[in-house]
Amino acid sequence: MDSLEFSHLHGGYDTQQIFKDLNLNLPKGAFIALTGPNGSGKSTLLKFIYKHLKPSEGKVLVEGKNVANFTQKELAKHLGFVAQNGKLDYAFSVREAVSMGRYAYDGEDNLHTIEQAIVECDIEHLKDKLVTELSGGELQRVLLARALCQQGKLLLLDEPVNHLDVKHQRSIMELLCRLVEKGYTVVCVLHDLLLVQIYSQIALVLQKGSVVAYGPTQTVLTEKLLQEVYDIQAHQVYDPTLDRMLWLPTYKVSSS
């Protein structure tokens, strides 16, 4: 069974229809990068999955079940979501904020799961700090730990490494890969094409609410696609550590 399916999905906002008859099956246990230019519909697509938006027609299925039929608690046990530039406005401690990820579980195995998520996201040293006093990158890791506590096998992340330094970018991306190895499905909005190429197995490229490319990342990203979707020239370079070619934008820097 696919972990996530969009079936004849139509919808968007009162002012603007974004998706028209979207049909797609995303496989279980894969790292799926959701990419595309600004305003192409990436965050909107996630909103249909976590029921922030309701389709005007069609449906979203998680593990074969229409999300419209899940209660919020059931959905929380199936999927975790880390928002873009997520904010926590109240002065909770980091530990309290992470423990909120357990709200659907009525006390089952809370302590162990919370501690494990705190260790995995490398925020042990922040446990007693207030979330209102964290840097953007620290907060992002707290929000990921909270989502991990939900123990859903589907993780949705909207640009999760935007605020992170290079070391923490790498550690979060590697953590996501380890989760995929354990059977999680990760759907991750990423703008950075290098991260897309290095970490994702499948790329889904959106443009103006349409799927312009979908499939194994290494075959999806091509010079033609980058030109057509982003209007950029690109070239390939060999990465000796990965032992493969990677696409890079071709920069033109004036010498004067």
Ligand X SMILES: Nc1ncnc2c1ncn2[C@@H]1O[C@H](COP(=O)(O)OP(=O)(O)OP(=O)(O)O)[C@@H](O)[C@H]1O
The contact set with ligand X (CB under 6 A) reads 13, 15-16, 18, 36, 38-44
Q: Is 30 exposed, middle or buried (0-12, 13-18, 19+ CB in 10 A)?
A: middle
Nearer to ligand X, 18 or 82 (CB): 18
Nearest-approach distance from CB 44 to ligand X, in angstroms: 3
Nearer to ligand X, 35 or 151 (CB): 35
Nearest-approach distance from CB 115 to ligand X, in angstroms: 33
Nearer to ligand X, 47 or 141 (CB): 47
Q: Is 177 helix (H, G, I), strand (E, B) or coil?
A: helix
Which pair of tokens denotes residue 208?
A: 């103006």
Nearer to ligand X, 12 or 152 (CB): 12
Q: 233 near 65, Cβ under 8 Å?
A: no
Helix axes 136-149, 110-120, angle to 10 degrees: 140
Nearest-approach distance from CB 208 to ligand X, in angstroms: 8
Which pair of tokens denotes residue 189?
A: 């909005």
Q: Which residue matches tokens 């990436």?
A: 42
The amino acid that residue 23 corresponds to is: N
Q: How many CB atoms lie within 10 A of CB 197?
A: 22
Nearest-approach distance from CB 238 to ligand X, in angstroms: 29
Nearer to ligand X, 48 or 184 (CB): 48
Q: Is 246 helix (H, G, I), strand (E, B) or coil?
A: strand
Nearest-approach distance from CB 196 to ligand X, in angstroms: 13
